Amino acid sequence: MGIGMRTAFILAIITGILATGSFSNFIIQPAYAQSDLLIDLDGIISKLKGGDEFQDVFPGAPLTPFPPPVFPMAGSRVGIDFFDQTNPGFFDPGDDLHAEDTDNCPTSLRDGIHNNVLNGKIDCVILDDPAFPANPLINGRVVDCDLETGGSPSELYTFPCQVPNLTFYDEPEDDGVPNGHYDLGEDIVLDLDGDGVYDAPECPPGQGGTPPDDCSPLVAGSLTPIDTTMVLVAGTQMTAAWMIPVIISGIGFAIVITRKF
């Protein structure tokens, strides 16, 4: 093989390698939705989120923003209010919720503030996580956003107040149709990606189980359900990736042969 042919052959190989690197940047990688944050599952049963046994929202379920499109009738009002304790204008860990309508909380007083000793009245706490002791829900704390009416007694928000991405799962009634407003105990969700549906968390690669509590490492010999569609797509991508250098090299050889003859 002459010097010219050897040089052309080397250039063909290098060209194939460089082209492979360039094309690999365009190979589509699988995308995963950002998981949403469950805020409350059990209403006034506990001051925390509540256990998994109270969860009704499921992956892909539609989410309704606060304030809801339908104002509840008497007897269905919860008086759910939001206290913006940390980062003003957003829901963050440490923020609180209560119910102050006597239809669902007979000890409460609907006055736009949190009562726990005033005149013997006690508003029912939906969320006041003790893991954030710097932000307790104290007596006399003024409501920042009435999540049913859109009012803001503290005037932190303009009317109608809307806490970004704070939503709830409007569970269907007996007739299979949601009633359009929040009922005490319905799941409250922070829709982090704002897509209007519940995106459940996923276990990291190499781990299985039900996230986030059971993301245990996979054990050899265990049966784990997989998405066969993604496997087929990945296999197609890998095949395409290996074919690219073969095709480019073939073009290089063709150039060498053409120049020779």
Where exactly are the structural domains of the chain?
3-31+224-260, 35-201
Which pLDDT value is given to residue 211? 61
- The confidence score (pLDDT) of residue 224 equals 47
Dmax over Cα atoms in the chain, in whole Å? 103
94 phi-psi bin (left φ>0, alpha ψ -120 to 50, beta other): left
- Report DSSP letters for 11-77, one per residue: HHHHHHHHHHHHHHTTSPPP--PPPPEEEESSTTS-SS---GGG----TT-B-EESSPSSPPPTTS-
pLDDT of residue 61: 98
What pLDDT shows up at residue 18?
47
pLDDT at residue 134 in the model: 92
The reported pLDDT for the residue numbered 193 is 94
Residue in this structure with the two tokens 């059971």, named with its chain if needed: 214
pTM score over 0.75: no
CA dihedral sign of residues 152, 156, 159, 165? negative
The confidence score (pLDDT) of residue 175 equals 93
| SS3 call for 261 | coil
- Say if CB 190 and CB 91 are below 8 A apart: yes
pLDDT tens, per residue, the chain with 261 residues: 555 555 555 555 555 544 444 444 444 444 445 689 999 999 999 999 999 999 999 999 999 999 998 888 877 889 999 999 999 999 999 999 999 999 889 999 999 999 998 667 899 999 999 999 999 999 999 999 999 999 999 999 999 999 999 999 999 999 999 999 999 999 999 999 999 999 997 766 666 555 655 565 555 444 444 444 443 444 444 445 545 555 555 555 555 545 555
* Gap between the Cα atoms of 218 and 261, Å rounded: 59
Task: Single out the residue of 103, 101, 109, 100 nearest to residue 75, CA to CA.
Answer: 103
The reported pLDDT for the residue numbered 205 is 64
